[in-house]
Amino acid sequence: MKKNYAVLLWAFLLLMTAPAFAQLNIGKKLQNKINQKIDQQVDKTIDTALEAPAKESTAGAAEGDAGEGAGNAPGGSTATTDEAKKKAWTKYDFVAGDKVLFADNLSGEENGEFPSRWGLNDGNAEVASFGGEPVINLVQTGTEIMPLMKNKNWVPETFTIEFDVYFDSDNPNVAYEVYLIEETNNYNESLHGEFWDPIDIRSNAVRFKTFGSVSAELDAAGTKDQWRHVAIAFNKRSMKVYLDQYRLINIPNLKGTPTGLKIAIDKRIEANSMIKNVLIAEGGKKLYDQVMANGKIVSYGIKFDVNKASIKPESIGTLNSIAKLLQEQPALKFSVEGHTDSDGDDNANMKLSQERADAVKAYLVSQGITAERLASKGWGESKPLDKGATVEAKSNNRRVEFVKL
């Protein structure tokens, strides 16, 4: 600012000391220069206002349903940012189960209403719009919600859970709690064992009983207004829990049997606390065993941005597992095949599925798999696995298959 004043003073003195016949030209040039500077500053201010992400309220009207390929975490604004995120997730080894049991992208829900596919144990929750996406707003501390399932004790012995949680910089101490039993007041020690306690999820750490750790990387990043991806993998007695790309819990042997799911919120002050994109899947055979038994691998762990072929970072665990299988089995070849659900235009879905299959193939080639071992094909909505109309049926149909050639 001082530099600007000095320049203006110099220009003024120059104008005053110049001969009269030159003062008019100097004055015009000076005025033009000043106008240019003002215009540049105005443009800069407008650009900054347009580019800065506003902190949104969870109130307001819905901004369209999530639709085909709804995302799990906010994607980067540029290709460079996307590639940087994928690189950061290269050690992520979570692989989603191979049959969807419960899914909710809140499609068709109305803002302000309780989410129709959930039950309420305590507190208050509502559907809201945030960042252009529908979310479940956990309104007050102590709120507990659970998926509505037909049967009790519906969790299989091998399963995966994925969802996104929001952390508000105004409330860095918020904790999301995941119980692997439905109702703690019906706790059965011989059945549930250690699962009386919740998995405690903070912005930089995950804990379960005496297990768990703080992520140094997430801790250094600090609490910001942002979404984080939670992934839980349970296999008979072992459990792994991830926060974004970091595995913060790895327990080889737990006593008790998970029988359901409940998500709760613990927050000390009023702040945004939200979840979205919940996906629960039954685990299955190892990848090579799937190929030998079925001639293909059906994957729900490869996720894309909404209506795009941009691969989300949380897909890297599944993709790297496929790449590793191909490296270990040099005679194995795959046709990478994309499938969508029936929502939207048939031709658009066909085009989208082809682009996504091409994107997966390109990623595997970037990991050292020769292109000759891979084909790609998009089938759109033409080959549904599940012909039902439920959210789970649509989720089972949105998939990537690796068909043995």
42-88 pLDDT, tens digit each: 344 333 333 333 334 343 333 333 344 333 333 344 555 566 666 77
Average pLDDT score over the chain: 81
Q: Are 105 and 341 in contact (CB under 8 A)?
A: no
Q: Using alpha carbons only, give the angle 144, 237, 232 rounded to the nearest 5 degrees.
A: 45
pLDDT of residue 15: 46
Q: Is residue 138 part of a domain?
A: yes
- Residues 46 and 107 occupy one common structural domain: no
* pLDDT mean over 297-304: 90
* Eight-state DSSP code of residue 291: H
What does the pLDDT average to over 359-374? 96
pLDDT digits (tens, 9 = 90+) for 384-395: 998 888 888 888
> For a pLDDT cut of 90, what percent of the chain falls above it?
54
Judgement on whether residues 167 and 256 belong to the same structural domain of the protein: yes
39 and 122, same structural domain? no
Q: How confident is the model at residue 222 (pLDDT cuts 50, 70, 90)?
A: confident
Looking at the structure, do residues 308 and 182 belong to the same domain, yes or no? no
Q: How far apart are CA 147 and CA 127, in angstroms?
A: 14
Distance of CA 74 to the CA centre of its chain: 6
Residues 61 and 177 in one domain: yes
Domain co-membership, 179 together with 252:
yes
- With a CB cutoff of 8 Å and minimum separation 6, the contacts of 57 are 130
270 with 296, same domain: the answer is: no
CATH number of the domain within which 350 lies: 3.30.1330.60
CB atoms within 10 A of CB 236: 12
Q: How far is CA 358 from CA 5, 81, 382, in A?
A: 57, 20, 18
Which residue range is the domain that position 168 belongs to? 57-75+90-284
Domain-located, residue 205: yes
More confident residue, 299 or 269: 299
User: For 56-70, 141-155, 218-232, 347-361, which range has the lowest pLDDT when averaged over its residues?
Assistant: 56-70
Question: Quick one: pLDDT at residue 288?
Answer: 86
What's the pLDDT at 71?
36
pLDDT 10s digits, 320-365: 999 999 999 999 999 999 999 998 899 999 999 999 999 999 999 9
Residues 197 and 231 in one domain: yes
114 in Cβ contact with 121 (< 8 Å): no
83 inside domain: no
Residue 396: inside a domain, yes or no? yes
- For the record, the structure tokens of 366 come out as 């970037």
> 115, 125 in Cβ contact below 8 A?
yes
pTM for the whole thing?
0.71
Which tokens in the block code for residue 148?
Answer: 């509505």
The token duo for 252 is 């080889």
Mean pLDDT of 272-290: 88
- Which among 257, 284, 311 is the end of a domain? 284
Q: Supply the pLDDT for residue 83.
A: 66
**Whether residue 11 has pLDDT greater than 80:** no
pLDDT (0 to 100) of residue 169: 85
235 and 108, same structural domain? Answer: yes
CA-based nearest residue to 128, from 225, 54, 58: 58
Q: Has residue 366 got a pLDDT over 90?
A: yes
Q: How high is the pLDDT of residue 61?
A: 32
Q: How far apart (Å, rounded) are the C-alpha atoms in residues 77 and 363?
A: 19
Residues 6+ apart with CB under 8 A from 270: 171
**Model confidence at 175: pLDDT above 50:** yes
Helix axes 346-366, 316-328, angle to 10 degrees: 60
Q: Are residues 265 and 291 in the same domain?
A: no
Which has more pLDDT, 136 or 391?
A: 136
Q: Does residue 85 fall inside a structural domain? A: no
For residue 293, tell me if it sits in a domain. Answer: yes
Domain end call among 232, 258, 284: 284
Instruction: Tell me if 135 sits within 8 A of 277, measured CB to CB.
Output: no
Are 187 and 124 in a shared domain? yes
* Three-state DSSP class for residue 4: helix
Number of domains in the chain: 3
Model pLDDT, residue 388:
82
Radius of gyration of the chain (CA): 27
Q: How far apart are CA 95 and CA 314, in angstroms?
A: 9
Q: CA torsion angle for 213, 244, 114, 281 (degrees, to 10)?
A: -100
Residue 20 covered by a domain:
yes
Nearest to 355 by CA among 370, 328, 329, 336: 336
Query: Residue 116, Cβ neighbours under 10 Å: how many?
Result: 12
Flag whether 395 is in a domain: yes
Q: Are residues 33 and 68 in the same domain?
A: no
77 C-beta neighbours (distance < 10 Å), count:
10
Residue 20 pLDDT > 70, yes or no?
no
Percent of the chain residues topping a pLDDT of 70:
78
Q: Is 267 helix (H, G, I), strand (E, B) or coil?
A: coil
Contact 336, 402 (CB under 8 A): yes
